[in-house]
A and B are shown apart, each in its own frame.
Chain A
Amino acid sequence: MNNLSENILSVENLKMYFPVTRGLLRKKVADVKAVDDVSFHIQRDETLGLVGESGCGKTTVGRCIMRLYEPNEGKVIFEGDDILTYSPAQVRGARSQIAMIFQDPYSSLDPRQNAGNIVGEPLKIHRMVKTPAEYKDRLEELFAIVGLDPGMKNRFPHEFSGGQRQRIGIARALACEPSLIICDEPISALDVSIQAQIINLLQELQDRLKGLSYLFIAHDLSVVRHISDRVAVMYLGRIMEITDSQTLYKNPLHPYTKALLSAVPIADPAVEKNREHIILQGEVPSPMNPPEGCAFHPRCPMAAPECKKITPELRSIDNKHEVACLRV
């Protein structure tokens, strides 16, 4: 573990189970273990990427940190305090420090509010500004920071392109000067040429505004690697491997990470010809009924008999590399 005081966020043994109910009396019959014993930390000014396929629980992790869900177990320690013990009023206060950017810029902005109101609302709710003049100045500053013309503040979301809408979402997230932004698939709804604009904007903001950390949640490994300092790979509610983004590509240890890397095609035929293509068999099992032992063992090319029985814990290989696999 790194020096604790440097960590802006540390998540410890987080568990989020969604009950599955049946029948008239809504009797609980099973749990969907969306997040099962997840631990990680984010340092100040750092970007942690959280990558995995759909249904692996990466979005749920982000929502638990925001307390949009109430986790069953675990700790979410933000700036030294466990958010999960906060009262509703304290949670609202914390949400000025932790902001969120959502995937779909088409449905995450209120279509009946103009852009100025959307960006300015957090300023009012958290009383970040005292006077109308200050409000106007701050609003214009926010528009300028994300590369939008402040003159567009009276327009409505449908008048903006997808990339511009995502800029509005980012401006709103920045309004209260948060120290952590949870970016949940912020670019997957955008066209490739627009994705680069948003990725660069997020990186520039981090350089310019001191003390801003990101939790960058996405399924696209190339994007996650590009923007993140460290990357955590999730599979069926568990973290399989965490390491810095260089090591992840050059020396992946977990067989799932290897398969995931190999499944992402690289836009260079010369490189592609010489790469090993690991094609996984089968599909991701249902999180309602995950396999015993290591969740990945039915698809794992390295699986041994003990993998069916023992659930591997995340353990350190060296001080920057953690992996949850019995065979490594």
Chain B
Amino acid sequence: MSVLLDVKNLTTQFNTEAGIVKAVNDVSFQLNEQEIIGLVGESGCGKSVSQLSVMQLISAPGKITNGEVNFEGRNLLDYESNSDEMRAIRGGKIAMIFQEPMTSLNPTLTIGRQLTEMLELHLNMTKEAARERAVELLKQVGISGAESRLDDYPHNFSGGMRQRVMIAIGLSCNPRILIADEPTTALDVTTQAQLLELMKDMVSKYNASLVIVTHNLGVVARYAHRIYIMYAGNIVESGTTEEIFANPQHPYTKGLLKCIPRLDEEKGRKLVPIEGLPPNLINMKSSCAFAPRCSERLERCLTEAAPPLRDIGNGHYVGCFEK
């Protein structure tokens, strides 16, 4: 498998009145061709901002201050956010699906218009051809009566259906990468299962790669090939899905697995919560961000700079001192 997207040392910070927030701090990750990766973390850990940075959708006071986003032989950060090159990539080569299907579609435009806009813009299709393709796309994502539904507005669709429309829009220009940012969090479980299954089938049909950004460890266990665990702006552990779940190494990953109820657990299992709260990201120290909550903390964790990710074999990396 060859590398499709190679993100190196990405740093995105927000300059607020209270101080500098490093929402994404020196983050590197890779996405291979036809791969599904999961980016897992709690709210505020920088998982969404890291993906928005790839798309250069960061607005002031946010700023990408360092790093490379290598895609198809180019570093995307060499281009201005509003340059023609980035516009061609956004939606054309790399598409994104957002959490709230209620707010990410334009309520004043028919969904047909929102679908064909992409096709006319990126693929220079004529109006007629675009409409034909839009019908085909809606059929593929399982919307019945596609022909007539093109002229409906987003409010005519349920949440699950809107997210299907988002998937159709995302895939309309045959992108190489689809980034799904908490795509099913606002939806019911049976709808969530339908949509994740659909997304998996669609990316394999289009030979695209998928990034699933989520806080749900179950979702990545079911769908992802590889996983990155994020905490307070850093990737703390990465590896194949099997490795991460069978052999978690970072205390945060272990803590997460111990604190979630499992559907198949035996009666009487006790949850072990992670003590304390996620840190405030303003003016963070350079030592390990998880150390104050860590159950395996050493003296040096509080004094020395946070350890970089180290290779422990089998494609498994962990950002924690060797014990």
Contacts and interface: CB of A to CB of B under 8 A. Distances in A.
Interface of A: 53-54, 161, 163, 191-197, 199-200, 219-223, 225-227, 245-246, 249, 259-272, 277, 279-280, 283-284
A53 B159 CA distance: 13
A270 B256 CA distance: 18
A268 B42 contact: no
A263 B193 contact: yes
A191 B221 contact: no
Interface in B43-61: 43
A249 B42 contact: no
A259 B190 contact: yes
A196 B160 CA distance: 28
A309 B272 CA distance: 48
A148 to B, nearest CB: 13
11 contacts: A53-B188, A192-B256, A192-B259, A199-B271, A200-B270, A222-B260, A226-B261, A265-B193, A266-B263, A279-B197, A284-B188
Interface stretch (B15-23, B71-79, B80-88, B239-247): B239-247
Contacts of B161: 283
A272 to B, nearest CB: 5
| Candidate in A195, A262, A267 with the most chain B CB atoms within 10 angstroms | A267
Nearest to B266: A246
Contacts of B277: 161, 163, 194
Given A263-B189, A264-B263, A268-B262, 17 more contacts: A191-B215, A192-B256, A193-B259, A194-B273, A196-B273, A200-B271, A219-B188, A219-B189, A222-B218, A226-B265, A226-B269, A263-B190, A266-B263, A269-B221, A270-B246, A271-B264, A283-B158
Contacts of B192: 263
Given A192-B215, A196-B271, A259-B190, A269 B264 contact: no
Nearest to B191: A283
Given A191-B43, A269-B245, A270-B245, A280 B190 contact: yes
A151 to B, nearest CB: 18
Interface string B211-254: 00001111101100000000000000000011001100000000
Interface of B: 42-43, 158, 160-161, 188-194, 197, 215-219, 221-222, 241-242, 245-246, 255-257, 259-265, 267, 269-274, 277-278
Nearest to A256: B190
Given A193-B274, A197-B273, A267 B160 contact: no
Nearest to B263: A222
Nearest to A278: B193
A140 B193 CA distance: 45
Contacts of B245: 267-270
A269 B259 CA distance: 17
A262 to B, nearest CB: 8
Top 5 closest pairs, chain A to chain B, by CB: A265-B218, A226-B261, A196-B259, A196-B273, A263-B193
Contact of A266 (B158, B215, B221): B221
A28 B217 CA distance: 46
Contacts of B265: 225-226
A221 B215 contact: no
Given A54-B188, A196-B271, A246-B267, A265 B194 contact: no
B260 A196 contact: yes
B169 to A, nearest CB: 20
Interface centre among A220, A268, A272, A283 (most CB of B within 10 A): A268
B214 to A, nearest CB: 10
Nearest to B259: A196
Contacts of A283: 158, 160-161, 191
Contacts of B255: 193
Nearest to A225: B263
Nearest to B158: A283
B234 to A, nearest CB: 16
Contact of B219 (A192, A196, A265, A271): A265
Contacts of A263: 189-190, 192-193
A271 B194 CA distance: 19
Contact of A279 (B193, B215, B241): B193
B191 A269 contact: no
Given A53-B189, A263-B193, A268-B221, A191 B261 contact: no
| Centre residue among A225, A246, A263 by max chain B CB count within 10 A | A263
Contacts of A260: 189-190
A267 B260 contact: yes
Nearest to B189: A263
B259 A222 contact: no
B262 A222 contact: yes
B300 to A, nearest CB: 24
A223 B261 contact: yes
Contacts of A272: 221-222
A77 B137 CA distance: 54
A200 B260 CA distance: 11
A249 B261 CA distance: 13
Contacts of A261: 263
A222 B274 CA distance: 18
B196 to A, nearest CB: 8
Nearest to B44: A191
Nearest to A280: B190
A246 B264 CA distance: 9
B273 A193 contact: yes
A267 B217 contact: yes
A75 B245 CA distance: 48
Contacts of A161: 277
Contacts of B274: 193, 196
A68 to B, nearest CB: 24
A270 B262 CA distance: 14
Contacts of B264: 249, 266, 268, 271
Residue with the highest number of chain B CB atoms closer than 10 Å, among A161, A222, A227: A222
